[in-house]
Structure 1
Amino acid sequence: MSKHSTPGHSRPAPTKTQKFTIAGVATLGAAALAFSLVPGSADAGTQTQSLEAAPVAFKQNVDAQQAVHAGVIKQQTSADKQAKAAKDTADAKAKAAADAAAKKRADEEAAAKKKAEDERKAKEAASRAAARKPVYANNLDGWIRQSLDIMKSKGIPGSYEGLHRNIIRESAGDPNAKNGWDINAINGTPSVGLLQVIQPTFDAYHVEGTSTNIYDPVANITAAANYAADRYGSMDNVNGAY
């Protein structure tokens, strides 16, 4: 029976010699691989130490990286805290300044309001006082009554009757009356006005708030009443030259 080969390229079967050669190469390769994997006694200690030191070095490297990372985090945290503290301080100062400015404005507004209120009250009081202030007639009756009000406010005694009686006797009610013949006139200080007062006496007993003109009716009466109160207790006690 004839043999037929498989279509395509024909590959002859290896000979016995070729099989031996392939087996030898494989054996040698395995031996070389085994030799390379099993180190000799001279290098075994070094390689063992290297293998043992590798995890330690790796851990040290990791620890160093972690330490660096922790340091960076710590520095960042410290910087953040400092920035926050600085911001809080600035905010506190700004708030304090704003509060101070607001308080100053409030105080100024309150002071202005109080001033306006005080001025309003003062005007109202002045208006009420003006409304209550008596109007005196520009005659003997009015002069006496005005003098009596001033005397009352100053604590100077005297009555309408006492003033009127002495005025009529001394000057007949003439505010410009002047004595040019008595001893006072001879001495250069004539008696003048409603109650015939000499200038030194008028100056010594002048009542504050009245005119400094000796001929002014109210000023003349009030100064004379003040003098009579000092010398006689009251103008009411004077019934003649005084």
Structure 2
Amino acid sequence: MSISRITSRSRRLNKAQKLSVAGVSTLAAAAVAFSLVPDDASATTEPQAVSGAPVAFAGKGQTDSVQASIIEQHSTAEQLVKAADAAKAKAAAAEKKKADQAEAKAKAVAEAKSKAAAKAKADAQKRSSSTSSRAADRKPVFADNLDGWIREALSIMHEKKIPGTYEGLHRNIMRESSGNPRAINNWDINAINGVPSKGLLQVIKPTFDFYHVAGTKKDQYDPVANITAAANYAADKYGSIDNVDSAY
């Protein structure tokens, strides 16, 4: 057989060959069926069908590469999602920490203010109590004379709510004893009855004992005790020592 004939036969075979694609799967596999035309152009026999065997698709390597790329992209997407979730969680944790710190700081400030206020109040109460205590401990000092006796008696009368003024006491003292705490009346009816009037305001013993003011001496001649007992008696009988202008 000559070379020209072989070439002519090859051309005839290429033209006569029929390629049929059975289908493409997800792995890009294909099955191709084809038939051959007899090399004798004048032959009258019918062409025989040749069963085609599956052949590998020419792009299999590309399919594997695409599949690997898809897997890689999927993995990358999952990693991105995880990274995003981790970033969100981290941001949320940081925000919560910041809020907790702010709340703790505000609470600490409030507690500090409360403690400071409580301390200030306690200090103020302590100072007030100390001042009151010192004031209570300080007893006024009165002169040992008529003015001092009257003023001390008025202080006690004020405490015991016994009415009377400096003027009313002084006026009656000057009339009754001229300011002598040891004065005694030995000539009136009381003296005749054995109970003479004594002291600055000339009170008899029964009257002094009955109207004696607690906290003073039980002595008719004691100036302060005598004044307060007489003022107490006058308040009961006349409303006040200020209302007395004569023997009472």
TM-score normalised to the size of structure 1? 0.49
TM-score normalised to the size of structure 2? 0.48
